[in-house]
Amino acid sequence: MRQLHWAVALLAGACAAQADVYYEEEVVHSGAGPDKRGARRTVYQVYIQGSKQRVSADIETSEQMARVLRSQGQSLQATTILRLDQGRLYDIDRTALTVRQAPLPAAKPAAAASPEQTPDREISFRTRSLPDTMRVAGILCHRVAVEMTARHFRPGTREVTRTNRYLYQAWMAGGFPGYEEITSFLRLQKARTSMAPLAFGGGGLGEGPEDPGRLEQELQTLEGFPMRSRLDVFTAAASGAEKQLLRLSRKVLRLSHEALPDSLFQPSAELTRLR
């Protein structure tokens, strides 16, 4: 009987270790500049099962911005299914009830990190691990802060024409149920395709000034999963005062670690297939 109890316990542990992950996150973009261009709130529902991922995004924004997004071919109610096991991508428009299948772009060969200094730009970083903690979706997190300053020079001189400053704060967590599945999927995605992460606070950095790529490289070195984060972007001309360009806030609202139905990772037969 004792052996049976041990067998049941081991089986339960194995099932827990192989469970799937679901989390919901909210990303709020303040909009850029004084007219808050591009302001919107997006709620992502993220499902992960091994090498498969489903991300549904619902965007709330002004009617003017909604028209801009639609003109760019972006649905306000979209779902993407990423099948790393099959090398396939399904883009679903839940408003038009259509789906488009495409092959995944191939992974890019490893490249050397971008230099921090170039003749016309000088970048500096300051990273701090702070003592305060916070629970997000019931998970204990610790705060880290990364500040990047990019000084841009007039070509061929050391005359500063503008300075861009990025202040990123995140409440990081690791080791929670579902953490390994999330990070394993991200590692596998990076190895198999050049496609950027669909969630994980992805998107938005590129809408700031000229330096987001270098900041993203730095953020990838942080340990843990950001359960909550905030990015503030500031700029100042050579002789002007610093002003804020935008704020990008992200928060995981809920997270679960349990089995998901396989049907989530296949497009519905009721959708109209586009070529």
Residue 32 pLDDT greater than 90, yes or no:
no
- The pTM is what? 0.85
Three-point CA angle 252, 258, 262, nearest 5°? 105
Spatial contact of 201 and 152, defined as CB atoms under 8 Å apart:
no
User: Of 151, 174, 166, 160, which Cα lies nearest the Cα of 231?
Assistant: 166
67 backbone φψ class: left, alpha, beta (φ>0; ψ -120 to 50): alpha
Contacts of 109 (CB under 8 A, 6+ apart): none
pLDDT higher for 272 or 114? 272
User: Of 82, 51, 39, which Cα lies nearest the Cα of 198?
Assistant: 82
**Is 174 within the bounds of a domain?**
yes
Contacts of 29 (CB under 8 A, 6+ apart): 38, 39, 40, 41, 42, 204, 207, 246, 247, 248
Give the per-residue pLDDT at 19: 85
Q: Residue 165's beta-bridge partner residues?
A: 149, 234
Residue 16 pLDDT greater than 50, yes or no:
no
Parent domain of 66: 19-274
**Is 26 within the bounds of a domain?**
yes
Give the per-residue pLDDT at 128: 94
69 backbone φψ class: left, alpha, beta (φ>0; ψ -120 to 50): alpha
Burial group, residue 23, by CB count within 10 angstroms (0-12, 13-18, 19+): buried
Give the per-residue pLDDT at 212: 66
Q: What is the pLDDT of residues 176-219, one digit of tens each?
A: 999 999 999 999 999 999 998 887 544 445 454 466 677 887 88
**Is 102 within the bounds of a domain?**
yes
β-strands 272-274, 98-103 pairing: parallel
Residue 163 pLDDT greater than 70, yes or no:
yes
Residues 4-18, mean pLDDT to the nearest whole number? 39
Q: How sure is the predictor about 10, in pLDDT bands with cuts at 50, 70 and 90?
A: very low
Give the per-residue pLDDT at 5: 39
Q: What is the pLDDT of residues 106-155, one digit of tens each?
A: 988 765 545 556 788 899 999 999 999 999 999 999 999 999 999 999 99
**Is 1 within the bounds of a domain?**
no
Residue 225 pLDDT greater than 80, yes or no:
yes
Burial group, residue 54, by CB count within 10 angstroms (0-12, 13-18, 19+): buried
**Is 40 within the bounds of a domain?**
yes
Contacts of 25 (CB under 8 A, 6+ apart): 43, 44, 46, 199, 201, 250, 251, 252, 253
Residue 37 pLDDT greater than 70, yes or no:
yes
Number of structural domains in the chain: 1
Spatial contact of 149 and 214, defined as CB atoms under 8 Å apart:
no
Q: For 149, which DSSP code?
A: E
**Is 112 within the bounds of a domain?**
yes
**Is 180 within the bounds of a domain?**
yes
The full 3-state SS of 159-205, as one line of letters, equals CEEEEEEEEEEEEEECCCCCHHHHHHHHHHHHHHECCCCCCCCCCCH
Residue 230 pLDDT greater than 80, yes or no:
yes
Q: How sure is the predictor about 11, in pLDDT bands with cuts at 50, 70 and 90?
A: very low
Q: What is the pLDDT of residues 38-93, one digit of tens each?
A: 999 999 999 999 999 999 999 999 999 999 999 999 999 999 999 999 999 999 99
**Is 59 within the bounds of a domain?**
yes
